[in-house]
Chains A and B, each alone.
Chain A
């Protein structure tokens, strides 16, 4: 009898579904899946901004990331007039190098990248789990994706957005985010419908950003600034330490 009861208990235990991950664990797993802590990651980003009304501008930049040490370098390739302009992040410090004036200035990761809807901090290693705390979680369908929806609040005031809502699909990839001001105004929506595998990690393949702060009424309809980013030629090639230095920026400037 005892044996039967024990067997029943074991069966019940193993038949139970595994406990679902809580929001914080989902966030951590998502960060881990898209971070490159074991080396360097580089790629080419083609960024097309479409102003309300239809005027477009294009920027092509090379991104170099070393997530282990929280370093990244963004070097502008196009437009040619800005080639060599660069952003260098080392820890908490972010430098902007202007090759025309050959001058470095500190800049802020909250700032827009080259007047697009992308923020400079969008290029760093994802760190939602350390930057934000989960306030609430729910489940929702986003197109073909089953997602966990997490409402997040910033742990520090140095972030561009104090409140963020994330849609994370079952494969632990952030598919959509909404960025809010402290008062709860929607400032930006970011969609990442497609990812690409790079080694054993994942990186966005296409990103669309709608800027709710930049709009105009065109033909009776409100249009928002929209930025589309295509990420190509992802690479895990090891980079020398010198890439993440001010001297390197000076060296490669036009």
Chain B
């Protein structure tokens, strides 16, 4: 006990001594410092730091190439300890993607952006797709008051990371849309009109009633971020299955408490019949090397397909000071007791190259076989996955 106290005292004194040494070091900066600069030479009322972001003299061409290869080794049903060879399975995993991006900002009021993608997946017979348009839009800024974006674009609403019932514009990247934003009204107000080929009965004579209209407004009040959004489509040849025709509404609230984001989304879907409610609650916390977030979703749906589920994700970079990053994800459906969880580590031994090892477990009748990634739909209940990834941005 006494030796412990002495050790603590010694530790404290050592820390104090080290701090004092560092202070002496930093105090030396004041011995002969550069004189204060009266009227900084570089100071200029014309120095516009926005131009570094708003204007580029050249078209910027960028992209990245990704290739992933590896395998999953495990059991298609949970193994029988007496007969471990039963259900044993090995599955090669591979995919590759090449992205090509054009970004032009000829003027602070205008921007053109296009992203093309080509992919190769074993399920497509190891054949590369042709270069397809992933995004293409232009921005026009009117007097820093109105931002307009037109084209094939991704619009994200709602706050979920694991579950996204509040993303009422989820299908925006499948069509062409116009988004008008008034950034200085409240904490931002936007209007959207979305058109898709499948919406129109006769593509030669499209009707304005077949277009999806949306509006969303953000406001910050007493530390709460409040959001209200709505989507409406009167008529369509084929409406988006997630939303149907009629009104879909979103109300969100978000607040930071003790450094943690707490949020909730409430979604009402008319879907041409009885209104259906979805509720999402969750939290997100980020430290320097760690992220932790969890979500819970309830959807009254119908008796057959009501949703009641929860998810938790955790990532830790430089685990215990090592070169490994740890990841953990668990998705569980309370409706049918199914789900999936995965724990894995990733290391980058060489520039552009990473190695990942994961143990995914999938349980229940409708278990989450996509627990690793949407691109890798597992066939095994319990497996060991090893992947090598080459990712080169350019």
List residues of A whose CB falls within 8 A of some B CB.
42-44, 62-64, 75, 77, 81, 84, 90-93, 96, 102-103, 105-108, 110-112, 115, 142-145, 171, 173, 175-176, 178, 185-186, 189, 191, 193-199, 202-203, 205-206, 208, 210, 212, 215, 222, 224, 232-237, 239-243, 245-248, 251-252, 254
Contacts and interface: CB of A to CB of B under 8 A. Distances in A.
Nearest to A194: B34
A205 B288 contact: no
A81 B36 contact: no
Contacts of B47: 42, 233-235, 237
B284 interface: yes
A234 B45 CA distance: 8
Contact of B183 (A77, A222, A234, A242): A242
Interface string B22-61: 1101111111111111111011111111101110000000
B112 to A, nearest CB: 13
Nearest to A199: B43
A106 B256 contact: yes
Contact of B225 (A93, A173, A232, A252): A93
A62 B53 contact: yes
Contacts of A203: 40
B145 interface: yes
A143 B261 contact: no
A194 B33 contact: yes
B54 A252 contact: yes
29 contacts: A64-B50, A81-B393, A96-B286, A102-B156, A106-B255, A106-B256, A107-B286, A143-B32, A144-B32, A185-B15, A189-B26, A191-B26, A191-B29, A194-B33, A208-B29, A210-B22, A224-B22, A232-B42, A234-B42, A234-B47, A235-B43, A235-B45, A239-B50, A242-B183, A245-B184, A246-B183, A246-B218, A247-B181, A251-B147
B308 to A, nearest CB: 25
A205 B40 contact: yes
B306 interface: no
B125 interface: no
Given A75-B53, A143-B29, A241-B144, A193 B34 contact: yes
Given A108-B256, A111-B288, A196 B53 contact: no
A90 B220 contact: yes
Contact of B40 (A142, A185, A198): A198
B310 to A, nearest CB: 20
B30 A110 contact: no
B272 to A, nearest CB: 31
B26 A176 contact: yes
A44 B45 CA distance: 14
Contacts of B25: 210
Contacts of B46: 235, 237
B22 A142 contact: no
B254 interface: yes
B206 interface: no
B19 interface: yes
A212 B53 contact: no
Contacts of A44: 49
A205 B39 CA distance: 12
Contact of A93 (B27, B111, B223): B223
B38 A145 contact: no
Given A191-B26, A235-B45, A254-B103, A110 B32 contact: no
A186 to B, nearest CB: 5
A194 B36 contact: yes
Contacts of A193: 29-30, 33-34
A87 to B, nearest CB: 13
Given A234-B43, A247-B181, 6 more contacts: A64-B49, A105-B284, A115-B288, A194-B35, A197-B37, A243-B50
